[in-house]
Chain A
Amino acid sequence: MANKGILVVAVSSRGVLPAATYELITAGRRLADALKEPLAAVVLSEKASVLAPDLSARGVDKVFCVESPALAGFVAETHAKAAAQVALSGGYGRVLLASNVAGRALAARLAVALKAGLATDVSEILPDGKVLRPYYSGNLVAEVQFKTPVAVMTLAPMSYPRAEKTGAAAPIETVAFDPGTAKTQFVSFTAEAAGEIDMGAAERIVSGGRGLGSAEGFKPVFELAHAIGAAVGASRAAVDSGWIAYKHQVGLTGRAVRPKLYMAVGISGQIQHLAGMSSAGTIVAINTDKDCPMMQLASVSVQGDYAELIPAITAEIKKRKGSAAVAA
């Protein structure tokens, strides 16, 4: 029997589903409609039964619920065993995961378990099932075709809108799962600075580069980010200078992001930085050098010194928001 149907693998992180899960549902729904195949989701979590109802109301045809304390922290072996069990028993043809640390690691193991072709960081699934993904640092886009009955893919963040609740709830099936004994023991999790917005799921990012001149230079950047509910990114030059932690780095050796708004402050736009953000919706460049690649690439460019411009922009936004609040 030919493999049929699309399976979204939803991995909880610290007990909640990342927003990227809803992007997978949208992509899966569109593909399912194009191929006239069913769309299912499987929730892998220590709290799967709590999380499943939310997913079931977002346009899927069925939700599988795999709940086990062994799925509390991400353990590639254990998660792969659970996902493979569901994918194999349902005979699914396409398996969709998020392009985050857990999703990528799980997709890799799952592809081997299912003897499936794998494509990561997919920006678009074509109606015929082929996919587009960047390579050569985003200089090229590859059109990838799968040769195996099953295909596994991870979707680049923000490539699809997040599925909303539609009202109708799909059936939820609880799956019995024996995690067995894994050769990986999840020891502990240490959270980083709470209250910060993660870049991967951020709709807006304000990013700073060497042009900020010092760690102190990030202060107005954080203030602007705070004013518009944005995550803070950085170029490698800023990270290597020790002005901001590596986890903020955008680019080839950092994170790939796709926000609706990317503000590049004092970043020249070298190819390795562009690799991480050039598919952002709107790029705003703020730079003293009107000829640098970032200013050339930008949707909106503002020439000037960040030290004057950023506080002025933040003040202007606060002013408008204030007046909007009064008007409302």
Chain B
Amino acid sequence: MGLHIVVCVKSTPSNSNVPVDAATGQPKIAGVPAAINPYDEYAVEEAVRLKERAPGSTATALTVGADAAAEVLREAIARGCDAGVLISGAEFDGGDSLSTSLALSAAIKKLHAEKPVHLVLFGKNTSDVGAGVVGAQTAAWLDWPDATAVKKIEAIDEASATVHRAMEDGVDALKLTLPACVSTVKEINEPRLPSLKGKMAAKKAVLPKWGAAELGLTPAQVGAAGAGAVVIKAATPPARPAGTRVDGADAAQKAAKLVDILLERKLI
């Protein structure tokens, strides 16, 4: 009984204020400490809450990254996940959302074969690349249903889940046949900090490491070789032109001057 939940987490630079490396034209992230993508904390928390809602459930954290990305799996375990799997190897370097989601889907298939998976949770987007698409792409590779922008899992059992999706103009309720993928938004919960017990478990956890071969994929399908898009260069956005300061003796004077400018520029 219980649910088998997989939660996908990514290791991202903890600070997005990164310079461009003049030599490579790429972001210079060497030396910037890595941490769990902040939006993935909500996905991890939701997995742990589902474990609390459905006793007997287990949660497995999954990441595609360098060997050092094992740290985010330990973070997920510290926050209440039961296990973690690292998908790593030189063949995954330079991947994009297409090839990264293929690797995730292959790992989920492998986990599913060992012990049926009911739900795969994702964050809203990552804090570095931040496309906000990997959850839906993983579902597409698996041919499973999915919902994005989920702010609430209203009901769930082993057969289906009813979720609330935050749209621009309101909320959609969707019923997904499980297994399914769900990408969350921060409204879904309030993440708790790791517990002492969790930290102990994280320290001791043995994390299997799978490469393309273990996933039944060829190196040509993953990483840069399997990518459909490449960042050929990064640049800092053009600086905004210098601004105008509105002065005046009192609020009414400043307001009049501001409204002059807004009318002149046809903004109102």
Contacts and interface: CB of A to CB of B under 8 A. Distances in A.
Given A118-B229, A140-B18, 5 more contacts: A105-B136, A112-B101, A183-B177, A189-B170, A278-B237
B34 interface: no
Nearest to B241: A299
A253 B246 contact: no
A184 B227 contact: no
Interface stretch (A24-32, A71-79, A171-179): A71-79
Contacts of A279: 237
B67 interface: no
A85 interface: no
A187 B172 CA distance: 7
Given A112-B98, A134-B237, A300 B261 contact: yes
Contacts of B241: 299
A169 interface: no
Contacts, number: 262
Interface of A: 13-14, 73-77, 80, 100-102, 104-105, 107-109, 111-113, 115-121, 130, 134-148, 151, 182-192, 198, 200, 204, 228, 246-247, 252-253, 260-261, 271, 275, 278-279, 281-284, 290, 296-305, 308-309, 312-313, 315-317, 320
A144 B168 contact: no
A103 B256 CA distance: 41
Nearest to A102: B167
B258 interface: yes
Contact of A316 (B148, B169, B252): B252
Given A189-B171, A200-B168, A300-B244, A141 B237 contact: yes
A312 B232 CA distance: 49
Contact of A301 (B228, B234, B237, B243): B243
Contacts of B20: 140
A14 B97 CA distance: 30
A108 B147 contact: no
Residue from the set B168, B170, B177 with the largest chain A CB neighbour count within 10 Å: B168
B88 to A, nearest CB: 22
B199 interface: no
Nearest to A201: B168
Interface stretch (B46-54, B113-121, B138-146, B200-208): B138-146
Contact of A101 (B131, B137, B166): B166
Interface stretch (B3-11, B75-83, B122-130, B212-220): B122-130
Contact of A198 (B169, B171, B229): B169
A203 to B, nearest CB: 9
Contacts of A107: 133
A92 B218 CA distance: 28
B229 A144 contact: yes
A145 B243 contact: no
B16 A184 contact: no
B16 to A, nearest CB: 4
The 7 nearest A-B residue pairs measured at CB:
A117-B228, A108-B136, A112-B140, A117-B229, A312-B255, A108-B133, A137-B16
Nearest to B141: A112
A120 B229 CA distance: 11
A83 to B, nearest CB: 12
A132 B149 CA distance: 24
Residue from the set B146, B169, B234, B261 with the largest chain A CB neighbour count within 10 Å: B169
Interface in B209-268: 227-237, 240-241, 243-246, 250-252, 254-256, 258-259, 261-263, 265, 267-268
A122 to B, nearest CB: 11
A226 to B, nearest CB: 12
Contact of B243 (A13, A183, A275, A298): A298
A304 B262 contact: no
A158 to B, nearest CB: 14
B237 A104 contact: no
A141 B172 contact: no
26 contacts: A101-B148, A104-B136, A105-B136, A118-B96, A136-B16, A138-B237, A139-B17, A139-B236, A139-B237, A140-B18, A143-B232, A144-B230, A182-B145, A184-B175, A184-B176, A185-B175, A192-B170, A198-B168, A246-B187, A253-B186, A261-B268, A299-B244, A303-B245, A309-B255, A317-B259, A320-B259
A318 to B, nearest CB: 10
Contact of B174 (A109, A113, A187, A253): A187
B176 A183 contact: yes
Given A112-B141, A142-B234, A300 B246 contact: yes
Contacts of B92: none
B180 interface: yes
B173 interface: yes
B25 to A, nearest CB: 9
